[in-house]
Structure 1
Amino acid sequence: MNGAVSGADADVEKLRKALAAEHAVLFAYGLLGARTSGALRAKISTAFDAHRARRDQLRALITTRGGKPAEPDASYALPFFPSNATLAVKLAVHLETGVTAAYLELAAAQDAVLRRYAALAMQEAVTRSYSFRPAQPAAFPGMPVAAVPAPPATTAAVRDGE
C-alpha cells in the first residue's frame, strides 16, 4: 500500500477540516455578538445560529462515519480586531469567505451526499457574506460593467411631451 488515504477516510478528513472552520467561525461570531448591537447584532446572531447548526451536523456526519470530531480550540487568532461596526462587518465577510473555502474542499468528497451538503453550505455562507455588505456584488470576472439603465418613461411623461 502506498500510504494513500481511502475515499471514506479522506471524506472524514474533509469533514474534520470543515468542522475546524466552523469552530473558528463560532468563536469569532461570539466575539462579534458581544461587541455589536441593534440590527447588526441580530444579523450576527442569526449567522452564529446557522454555523452552530452546521457544526452539530458536521459532528454527526463524522461520528456516523466512524471518525472522531475535533474539539474547538480555547481561542483563535483573528486577522484584525473588530473595534467598530465597519470592522465587525468586514470580519463577518472574512469569516464567511473562509468557511466557504473549507466547504469547497468538502465539495470534492467521494460521497455524493457530502458534495451536496458542501454545496449548500457554501451557498448559505456566500449569501450571508453578501447580506453583510452594503454594496452590490461585482460583475463576473471578464464581464464589462453594465451602464445603469435610464428609468422607463411613464405614460404621463410621454403624454406631456407630445
Structure 2
Amino acid sequence: MSALDAAQAALAAEHAAVYGYGVVGGRVAEERRAEATAAYEAHRARRDALRRTVRDLGGTPAVAAAAYELPFRVADPAGAVRLAAVLEDRVAGVYSDLVRASGGALRGEAAAALREAAVRAVRWRGSDVPFPGLAERAS
C-alpha cells in the first residue's frame, strides 16, 4: 500500500468517525458527553490534517459520504459507548496501515493518531487490547 492510499483510507475513516461521533453524542449519557465532544473535535482536526496530507502526496482528498452505515443500531447510552469504541478501533487500524506505508514526519503523525485512538478506545471500552490497530483484524 502506498502512503497516498493509506492516507486516503485514514481520511475516509476519519470522515466516518466524525459522522459516527454525531450519533454517539446524541445517545451517550450526559456524564460522557464532554468526552464524546472532545473525540469528535479530535477526529475533525485529524480529518482536516489528512486532507492537507493527501494533497501534499499528490492526491485529491476523498470527500465524506452523505451518510454512513453504522455497525449496529445505537438506541441507548450503552450502544453509544460501544459505537465509540468500535469507531476508535477502526481508526486505529487505518493509522496502523499509514504507519507501515509512510516514513518521516508522516509516520510520526500516524503513530500519534494511532496512539490517541487506542487510548480513546480503552476509555470507551474500559479495557485494552494487546495490539491496538491490529487486534480488530484478527476477528
Same fold at TM > 0.5: yes
Correspondence for 1:96: 88
Correspondence for 1:33: 25
Superposition map of 1:10-29 within 5 A: 10-29=2-21
**C-alpha deviation, 1:109, in angstroms:** 2.1
Question: Does 2:57 align with 1:65?
Answer: yes
Question: Does 2:67 align with 1:87?
Answer: no
Q: Give the whole-Å Cα distance in 1 for the aligned partners of 2:107 and 2:73.
A: 34
Where do 5+ consecutive residues of structure 1 fail to align?
Answer: 142-162
Coordinate RMSD, CA, aligned: 1.8
**C-alpha deviation, 1:37, in angstroms:** 4.1
**C-alpha deviation, 1:133, in angstroms:** 2.7
**C-alpha deviation, 1:35, in angstroms:** 2.3
Superposition map of 1:7-156 within 5 A: 10-134=2-126, 136-137=127-128
Structure 1 or 2, whichever has the larger Rg, is 1
Q: Give the whole-Å Cα distance in 1 for the aligned partners of 2:59 and 2:12.
A: 14
**C-alpha deviation, 1:93, in angstroms:** 0.5
Q: Give the whole-Å Cα distance in 1 for the aligned partners of 2:112 and 2:13.
A: 16
Q: Give the whole-Å Cα distance in 2 for the aligned partners of 1:101 and 1:41.
A: 25
Query: Identity, % of aligned pairs?
Result: 39
Runs of 4+ in 1 over 6 A off after TM superposition: none
Instruction: Please identify which structure carries the higher helix content.
Output: 2
What number of residue pairs does the alignment pair up? 131
Highest relative contact order (Cα 8 Å, sep 6+), 1 or 2? 2
